[in-house]
Structures are given as C-alpha cells and as structure tokens.
A and B are shown apart, each in its own frame.
Chain A
C-alpha cells in the first residue's frame, strides 16, 4: 500500500528543476505527479514516477540531494466534499498530515491524493477500514 515518492532538494536557482526533469526524460522515466514546496532559498520537489528506484539512482549519480519517502495514495471521489470525507476518517485518530497533493487519475473519474503522514501503517488501516481505496505502489507507478 506504500508508494515511494522521490524528494529532491533544489536550490532556488535557474535550471535545477529543468535538469531533474531532463534526466528523467532522457532515461524514459515518466512523472505521474509532482509538487514543490519552496522557501526563498530552496525548494523540495516531490515526485511520483513510474520507476522510483531507478530515478533515485540516476539523480544521486548526478549529485542531487534526493531521498525516497513513503507516502500513501488515496482515491478521492471527484465531487464537492470528496476530500473532506477522506480527511474526516483520519481526524479522530490524531493522524497528522505533513503535506498532501493531488493528481487526476486518467483511468477513472476520481482524483488521487498523495498523503505524507507520520504513522503510515495506522493511516492505511483506518482508511481501508472506512472503505476508502488506498492504491498500491505498483498500481500508481503504472497509471
């Protein structure tokens, strides 16, 4: 149920993001979802790709500061209140969401939301117990 996300440290200077995407592109690695959290000096690029381990190796070899982070990908109904319904299940269990971002799943009408939480196993159990669909890594990579 755990999805591997690439986290890449980028200084805020031109060409760095382009370089990452270039390396991935040259190696036929497809980006499924991405988000950037930034400050004035640096940003953290978060990526879901089809081949996370390979991407990690390639970026590492190019001297990027990169890590693989465990996240969960949850299917969220693409209608008003859809995300709220998912979050509501986690709320009573004190599961703190460090960050999240969304992307659209092409195969269905639903959205996919990527969560980063501290207690990942516990969160997965709560979500599945509540009938929410948590995607497997292999499934997300091949979307």
Chain B
C-alpha cells in the first residue's frame, strides 16, 4: 500500500515537474539560457531521475537578478512581494500570485493541523510581520484553518505576556530563542505558568537543538513543534513536524526535495545527510529549479506513525553557510548550545566569537553567568570555565576559550538570535 502511494506521489511530481520546466523555459529568460546551455529542452524530461542533470539555482542567482529577474509572471498577476533581510547585501525578493498565497495558506493549514492545531485554538503569532515571511505565513495558515489569530508580531515581551494571558492564547508561534526569552521574562515578572492556557508552540526560522526543545517544553509546559521554511521556496510550512515530533513532513507534492553533497553537487542516496535542494513544482510567481537551501539535513521515506505518507526531513543541524570552519574543523552553533544545556544551563545565552591570533583561528564562547553557577570564589568560576571548555573540546574537537560574561550583556533578539561574531570576516 505504502509503495503504491509512493509511486502515486512520484507520478504526480513528474507531471508537475514537466509542467514547471515548460513554464520556466517559456517565461524566464534566465532559465531558458541555462537549459539551452546544456541542450535540455522540457520535452527531454523522461523521468524524475533526469532532474539531477539540471542546473542548480542559488541565492546568488536571485541577487544577480535583483529584484524581479526570476519572476515568471507579470507584475499584474502578483498580489504580494516578500523579501529576506538581506544581511549580506541586497535582499532576495520573492513574488506571490493569488494562487501562490492560496497554496501557501493551504499547506500551512494542513501542516498546522497535523501538528495539533485546531479551529478552536487562539494563536499568539509572535513571528515578525512585514517583508519577512514568518508572520504572514502563519497568519494566513491559521485563518485558513479557522483558528483565531492574534497578529502580535515581535517586540515588547511584557505586553506579549499580558495579551497571552488576557486573550487565553493556546498556541504560541515564534522563533525558539524568542520562546525561551518569553519564558525568562515570565519568571522575571512573576507570572505563574498557570495563568496561561498555552498547550502548543510552533517554532522555527533558526536552527535549534533537541535539548532546546526539551527546555522550552519544560519551561512553558507545552509541546514544541519544529517548522521549516524559507522565503525563496515559500516561507514557513515547507515542512513541519506532526504530533509525533519525529522529523518534519515535507510538502513534497509541491516541493520536490533532493539531498546533495554540498561540495560536489552529487545527489546522495536515500537517508544520507547533506544539503537540501528544492524544486518548486507548482509555484507561479517565482518558480525555482533545484534551489540550494544551504540547510543540512537528511530525508526519511519510512512511514510515519501519524499516517501521513509525506517524506520527513531531519531537524536542520545547521546551515552550510552558517557553519563555521575553525582551524579546518566544522563547527555548528547548535553543538555549542547542546553542550551548555547538557551542563545544566537552563537559559543558554551565548555568543560565539571567532578571531585570528596571528595565523591561527581562535574560538571564544561567551556565556552569560547565571545564578546557579555564580560563586564568590574565583577558583570555582575558573573551574566552571574549564569544565565547559573540556566539554566543548570533546564535542568540537578543537579548543575553545570560555569567557563568563555578566547577565543580560549578550544581545537579545526578538527575532533570530545572533549567535556568531566572526571577526575574521571583518578583516
């Protein structure tokens, strides 16, 4: 039965891929040029396996065609434009047709439903609204589902908590670091958990660890669900966990996933870890062929207990472009977070500072001192630093210097946490 369903999905994917190729070949000069260059016309697509011979699309391609060069429809057909933050230059711009927005809402609604949200829920949506896709993505999905949305967006945590209490929010949606921050503020303000009706949270937009999930679930007494998305593909809801919390179901009837070796570009066998590449099968505004997400994950086609046949992707362990290479060693911020949590840090506020000392890369981890580890004796604090350093060494295999810093000195973000300061980049 399952095998048959898989064949059905593959068939649907093939038909949609063919349609996609025809559309982009006809409507996007960038793709026509790319495909002509390798002598591939859409009629040459014979099976899904042919996809691996087609060129990748990268974030750089989006930048080079800024702002609307990769759009496949006229401006009149667009109903909305979103853009990424553009931290490294011009933002990447994406456009949505009416159908695209409808599809996005439907995929979000269907994913949220699998995550346990119902029409009876009150959703406190603290994802940022605006050019960032998080806020509106959740908003439209929740409305489609028939739930009640509080479009609070980011900022002013005190007020957020007041509204959560007064409106009786049952579901919280925001970044995992902001969820942790809200939990902290709750304690500071002396708001007992019993005053809130929260039962579920859907967190994403930044890589986070299983340990952080456990912390959030414990502190907020909720079930924490992982969500994955990127504006280039759609926004949140490309993939989301179901109630089982065992991998994120990827909406593969609309987004065709591949896992490649990030260095060679070769497609990796099922189950192997690598960079996620997505082809949008049905998007109209800005369809993308083999878009390199830079996110490191693996896909599993094992049937899920929830009954959904959609492929599951692992929690993203890091972005290949967020990954630090320190003295030749790959370091993911999430590894450092995991170490701090395992040592009992309940609120791991930390910052990774990389610098060069002479020719050598130097890794420093700044950790905010918390009450439980403070001592009036220098030697105990130094012992603590040494302990964290030793633990980091076993995980990372390189030496990191731990530096204890005063509480509240590492910048808090209402959105994505800024965890890395790479001073080598500034030189």
Contact = CB atoms under 8 A, between A and B. Distances in A.
Interface of A: 5, 7, 9-11, 16, 37-39, 41-42, 44, 46, 63-65, 67, 69, 98-99, 116
A66 to B, nearest CB: 8
B378 A41 contact: no
A46 B378 contact: no
B29 interface: no
Nearest to B382: A39
B409 interface: yes
A17 to B, nearest CB: 12
Contact of B376 (A16, A39, A67): A67
Interface residues of B, number: 16
A116 B382 contact: no
Given A5-B376, A9-B374, A116-B376, A42 B409 contact: no
A99 B377 contact: yes
B269 interface: no
A68 to B, nearest CB: 9
A116 B405 CA distance: 24
Contact of B369 (A37, A65, A69): A65
B381 interface: yes
Complex A-B, nearest 10 residue pairs according to Cβ-Cβ distance, in ascending order = A7-B376, A69-B376, A63-B408, A37-B378, A65-B369, A11-B406, A41-B403, A65-B407, A65-B374, A63-B407
Contacts of B374: 7, 9, 65, 67
Contacts of A63: 406-408
B231 to A, nearest CB: 36
Contacts of A46: 376
A69 to B, nearest CB: 5
B384 to A, nearest CB: 12
Contact of A98 (B377, B403, B407): B377
B404 interface: yes
Nearest to B405: A11
A39 B378 contact: yes
Contacts of B404: 9, 41-42
B371 interface: yes
Interface of B: 369, 371, 374-378, 381-382, 403-409
A34 to B, nearest CB: 13
Nearest to A43: B378
B157 to A, nearest CB: 15
B348 to A, nearest CB: 16
B371 A65 contact: yes
Given A65-B369, A65-B371, A9 B378 contact: no
Nearest to A46: B376
B376 A44 contact: yes
Contacts, number: 48
Q: Mostly helix, strand, loop or mixed at chain A's interface?
A: strand
A67 B372 CA distance: 11
A116 to B, nearest CB: 7
A37 B382 CA distance: 12
A44 to B, nearest CB: 6
Contacts of B376: 5, 7, 44, 46, 67, 69, 116
A10 B408 CA distance: 13
Nearest to B409: A11
Contacts of A38: 378
Contacts of A39: 378, 382
A116 B408 CA distance: 29
A91 to B, nearest CB: 21
Nearest to B404: A42
Nearest to A7: B376
B45 to A, nearest CB: 60
Nearest to B408: A63
5 contacts: A7-B374, A11-B409, A44-B377, A67-B371, A69-B376
A11 B381 CA distance: 13
B407 A44 contact: no
Contacts of B407: 63-65
A67 B373 CA distance: 11
A98 B375 CA distance: 12
A84 B211 CA distance: 52
B406 A64 contact: yes
Contacts of B381: 9, 42, 44
A10 B378 CA distance: 12
A37 B379 CA distance: 10
A98 B408 CA distance: 29
Given A7-B374, A7-B376, 9 more contacts: A11-B409, A37-B377, A39-B378, A39-B382, A46-B376, A64-B406, A64-B407, A67-B374, A69-B376
B406 A10 contact: yes
A10 B404 CA distance: 10
Nearest to B403: A41
A7 B409 CA distance: 19
B382 A9 contact: no
A65 B406 contact: yes
Nearest to A42: B404
A108 B408 CA distance: 43
A9 B403 contact: no
Nearest to B378: A37
A16 B405 CA distance: 12
A98 to B, nearest CB: 6
